[in-house]
A and B are shown apart, each in its own frame.
Chain A
């Protein structure tokens, strides 16, 4: 690597366009809503930046605090479910024959390349009252009902389709659906790096599969698990589309409140404050991850 002084002309030619772009069309917009977050509305469209902390204080109102808690709960549930599902899946991929591995990995990543909106829309067709899941449940119900009648018992009665869409269940279901690849990939990366002789030693020395998994595999894969938890949790927390399309009025997340402040409620300063709170949480989670991985590498050396 060269010192930039060695060839300042090339350095500046290479750095000026991207740096200016980032400054003008990314950092400046962020700085603008940062300033707005300390402002208040003036008239219908005016915003006066008065450096008041009111918008941040208003976010502490139980109404909004509850939405933050709910978002944390949804994102936490999503992360937990993804972790439970992704652990066996990534373990199976890691120990699959070499020719299968690449194919399985591509199969995990592929949905990720499909438009988020379309995937969410596909879930609506699965979950709605007259959707595929309820149709499946109904046929199971009917056959159980038929068997029960055939052996002379009372039938189960008519099938009443459960409400699967527009509630908290649908939101977590959708978030898991969308974020599963985020969890599988880092787990796979960590498990694939793992030294298998540790597992063999553990099994040879008489520990069962269960014990080996929890005392050897999980600790060895911990950096991957932590990294997967963080990169699943962050986008899940800021999700907009999933709660918007799959959730009901009771299952809105922070991003939906932010959107409402900028569109229908037209309170940009408050929306800006909420955006920045969400961003601070994101940065905190990233810092946590950096802290953990640093501690890990320091221990390894």
Chain B
């Protein structure tokens, strides 16, 4: 049975006053938190809300509509860009997950000369400014006369390669964190019982790595789907991706159609991230 309102009020009043370290219960702290979250979320929420607004001028609410979603759906350029983005993300995720897992296994298992420098090199794509990587890729693909007029999806190869280069180190970091919790005695036991290297990898290591691999793959997918700067320098007129397309639309004008397209991308990214977090949580709970 729910408590009657007065009773609840009394219970609220009976709560002890905030202790000296209960920073979260001080009024001004709460206001700061509230202001910060409003600052972080209000722009995104209004963007999504106004994709349903029945008006071209974005500021005033004129009623609910999904016509801008339909319009975005019938915009061939947008759909083509979206298909390109998904294709690039799928291929680059597959390759970078494999390469990233290899880096993680190698760094986790072996001691070798210049390991520190090697690790630093592998971390470079994470730390250098995106713009530098973008222009380097542009220069590289133009200097090597990389073919750009191949049939789809081979014309996306330059973008895919660039995406693999910046995502596999992220996968390596995630997978390596997962490997840290592996008990090497399992590996030794399997080898004692006559398992080959390959068998140990397939039947012992990979099952343990699985949550890390999935989390790493989802991260790589999101990174690829979201990337603008590096793609901007590697894409040509025939290889427009979703963010690059949105960029050109934004430069042109601010319309609810762009809001609708953005809302779709936000929804996809959030769903992927939620999945990754859920999987990691579950793996963490299983370990306990």
The stretch among B9-17, B36-44, B68-76, B208-216 that forms the contact with chain A is B36-44
B136 within 8 A of A: yes
Q: Interface on chain A toward B: helix, strand, loop, or mixed SS? A: helix
Tell me how many residues of B have a C-beta within 8 Å of chain A. Answer: 81
A122 in contact with B43 (CB, 8 Å): yes
B222 in contact with A113 (CB, 8 Å): yes
Q: How far is the CA of A30 from the CA of B262 in the complex (A)?
A: 32
A76 within 8 A of B: no
Q: If the complex has contacts A11-B106, A17-B99, A25-B164, are A33 and B136 also in contact, measured as CB distance less than 8 A?
A: yes
Choose from A3, A32, A279 the contact partner of B139 (Cβ within 8 Å). Answer: A32
B265 in contact with A237 (CB, 8 Å): no
Residue from the set A4, A271, A282, A286 with the largest chain B CB neighbour count within 10 Å: A4
B152 within 8 A of A: no
Residue from the set B112, B161, B222 with the largest chain A CB neighbour count within 10 Å: B112
A234 within 8 A of B: yes
Chain A residues with CB under 8 Å of B105's CB are: 14
Choose from A18, A92, A116 the contact partner of B99 (Cβ within 8 Å). Answer: A18
Chain A residues with CB under 8 Å of B41's CB are: 111
Q: How far is the CA of A2 from the CA of B200 in the complex (A)?
A: 15
A-facing residues in B141-197 (Cβ within 8 Å): 143, 161-162, 164-165, 168, 172, 197
Q: How far is the CA of A111 from the CA of B55 in the complex (A)?
A: 26
Chain B residues with CB under 8 Å of A19's CB are: 118
Interface string of A15-36 (1 = CB under 8 A from B): 1011101100111111011001
B24 in contact with A100 (CB, 8 Å): yes
The smallest C-beta distance from B37 to any residue of chain A, in angstroms, reads 6
Q: How far is the CA of A89 from the CA of B58 in the complex (A)?
A: 32
A146 within 8 A of B: no
Interface string of B100-111 (1 = CB under 8 A from A): 101101101111
B262 in contact with A121 (CB, 8 Å): yes
Tell me how many residues of A have a C-beta within 8 Å of chain B. Answer: 85
B66 within 8 A of A: no
A33 in contact with B130 (CB, 8 Å): no
B80 within 8 A of A: no
Interface string of B113-141 (1 = CB under 8 A from A): 00000100110110111111101111110
B254 within 8 A of A: yes
A117 in contact with B42 (CB, 8 Å): no
B247 within 8 A of A: yes
Chain A residues with CB under 8 Å of B37's CB are: 107
A-facing residues in B13-43 (Cβ within 8 Å): 20-24, 29-30, 32-33, 36-37, 39-43
Q: Interface on chain B toward A: helix, strand, loop, or mixed SS? A: helix
Q: How far is the CA of A21 from the CA of B109 in the complex (A)?
A: 20
Q: How far is the CA of A108 from the CA of B10 in the complex (A)?
A: 33
B90 within 8 A of A: no
Chain A residues with CB under 8 Å of B47's CB are: 118, 121-122, 125
Q: How far is the CA of A32 from the CA of B40 in the complex (A)?
A: 39
Q: If the complex has contacts A21-B164, A119-B43, are A92 and B110 also in contact, measured as CB distance less than 8 A?
A: no
Chain A residues with CB under 8 Å of B36's CB are: 85, 89, 180
B164 in contact with A177 (CB, 8 Å): no
Q: How far is the CA of A4 from the CA of B258 in the complex (A)?
A: 53
A-facing residues in B53-97 (Cβ within 8 Å): 57-59
A164 within 8 A of B: no
Interface string of A190-211 (1 = CB under 8 A from B): 0000001001100100000100
Residue from the set A1, A93, A276 with the largest chain B CB neighbour count within 10 Å: A1
A125 in contact with B243 (CB, 8 Å): no
Chain B residues with CB under 8 Å of A126's CB are: 42-43, 46
Q: Using CB atoms, name the residue of chain B closest to A237.
A: B129
Could you list 12 further interchain pairs (A-B, Cβ under 8 angstroms) beyond the known A33-B132, A115-B226, A279-B128? A2-B110, A18-B102, A18-B103, A29-B133, A33-B139, A88-B23, A97-B24, A106-B277, A122-B47, A126-B42, A130-B57, A196-B21
The 6 A-B pairs with the shortest beta carbon distances in the complex, nearest first, are A238-B129, A29-B140, A122-B43, A29-B136, A4-B112, A14-B106
8 example contacts (A-B, Cβ-Cβ < 8 A) are as follows A15-B102, A88-B32, A92-B32, A113-B273, A115-B226, A126-B42, A199-B20, A262-B135
